[in-house]
Amino acid sequence: MAKRKTPSAANPPTIQDTSERAPKRQKPSSSSAPTPSSVPSSSTEFSPITLCTPWTTSTLPSHLPPLPPILSPTLETAALTHSGQKKSPSDLSYERLEWIGDVYLELIASELIFSTFPTIPEGEMSRRRELLIRNSTLSAFSIRYGLDKRANFPSEFNLTGRPNGSTAHAKKKEKALADIFEAYVGAIIRSDTVNGYKNTVAWLKALWGPLLKDEIKVEEGGGRMIDKEQNPKVRLEQLIGASCVKIEYRDLPGTGERFVDKQPQFGIGVYFTGWGEENLMLGEAWDFGKKSAGHKAAEKACGHPVVVGRLVERKRAWMTQRAIQRAEEEEKEKEKEKEAGKLEE
């Protein structure tokens, strides 16, 4: 029998409160317990709220931000592999990573918009988020980063299509390129449990910011709070105006020939041409002056279902494409300047 040690004065026995003694727990296995290095030191370190700080025009980049790396070679291969290219059923492809990446993208976009634009309604927040995460935007990013060249796709996705076979439809290609971008985002975060999310937020904030540059400027100037006193013609221009479209105010038939209380009335119609529309009437109104009739017609046009729906979305798509083209042109100019500098040396 082992001899029991008698506590000394230097090492007094500890006193435990047995009235609320917690039951013994089994020690968690190493596979389920988080390691100290993977546990954030602060409860706010990985908060999507604190990481997604507002955009400001002064910090918007003028160049394409660098693509963050995927720290796991296995996840990197999976993020760029189409399911049709798997060698065995157990191999990974981008579908699973695309599913979680889509969630991350929507969350980060939502937080950035929510924190940057406190004055806009929920519907407008949703439209701006859709601009950032829709397939046309994400597929363009995939091409700019060269993910299309790194991706392992079936041959029908190539420029010439499958030899003696089919060619993937343009929309199908766009969807696939958007999917690998979402998968790449998922792989960045899943491969780095400590800094992956934080790095992804910083990258996407820099990548998306230029697409909303005009809206950010408006917010910094006090917000686009549309009220009854604002000029409705200005309001309509803000909604659907662009350099490639035409908004015209024309006299209606009979204007100046109709009388109310012996005073002539003037009729003005608002017509829109552009983005597949030709002389589309958006609103009309009659009043005792052309100016007031034009304002009333613009007011009606601002509430036209085609304006608040189809035309607003087409303007956003045009602005996105223009921002992407502008960024590409800036990159080409910088490359030319670098080459010129090398030749001078």
Which positions are catalytic?
A: 102, 182
d(CA 16, CA 22): 11
Calpha distance 185→138 (Å, rounded): 11
DSSP string, 300-342: HHHT-HHIIIIIHHHHHHHHHHHHHHHHHHHHHHHHHHHHHHH
Q: What is the distance between the alpha carbons of residues 93 and 149, in angstroms, rounded to a whole number? A: 16
Enter the DSSP assignment of 120: S
Residue identified by tokens 């929920």 is 122
**What is the rounded (10 degree) CA torsion for 14, 20, 25, 28?**
-80
Distances (CA, A) of 176 to 88, 149, 234: 21, 13, 40
Please tell me the distance from the alpha carbon of residue 264 to that of residue 140, in angstroms, as a whole number. 55
Residue with tokens 């589309």: 280
Helix 135-144 with 170-190: angle, nearest 10 deg: 70
